[in-house]
């Protein structure tokens, strides 16, 4: 009789755990845009660009020209908040010298431009100044 009660309790506990996991499954599984794994998984969906030109145009601003891959569209030109001594400036110069392929994300209605190197997975987020 005691073993029957124990088996019944174990079955109830397993059923309870399964129901909790099913209810919270959305938070257990990485979704695009909510985790590093999801962000890396989304790289294949993003347009690819290369840094064509990076020029300082003011004390706190730079002109960034990105060329799409393959070159089927026009270059994208951005004015971004960036100083020549910033680590982001140096990273963009490095990507330009190496000809690195980058994934680009421009969130709708945002001033941000997100870049991530396809090779090294190094991310860079820039704030655009040319958006009204």
- The SS3 call for residue 132 is coil
Q: How far apart are CA 130 and CA 63, in angstroms?
A: 10
Whether pLDDT at 36 is above 60: no
pLDDT at residue 79 above 70? Answer: yes
**Which pLDDT band, with edges at 50, 70 and 90, does 42 fall under?**
low
DSSP code for 130: S
Stated pTM of the model: 0.66
Beta bridge partners of 130: none
* In the chain, domain spans: 2-30, 43-127
Give 93's pLDDT tier (boundaries 50, 70, 90): very high
């Amino acid at each position: 009789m005691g073993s029957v009660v124990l088996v019944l309790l174990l079955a109830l506990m397993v059923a309870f755990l399964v129901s909790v996991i099913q209810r919270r499954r959305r938070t257990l599984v990485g979704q695009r845009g909510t985790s590093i794994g999801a962000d890396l998984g989304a790289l294949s969906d993003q347009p690819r660009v290369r840094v064509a030109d990076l020029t300082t145009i003011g004390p706190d601003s730079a002109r960034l020209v990105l060329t799409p891959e393959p070159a089927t569209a026009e270059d994208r030109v951005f004015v971004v908040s960036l100083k020549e001594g910033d680590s982001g400036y140096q990273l963009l110069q490095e990507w330009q010298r190496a000809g690195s392929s980058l994934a680009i994300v421009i969130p709708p209605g945002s001033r941000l431009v997100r870049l991530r190197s396809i090779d090294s997975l190094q991310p860079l987020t820039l704030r655009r100044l040319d958006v009204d």
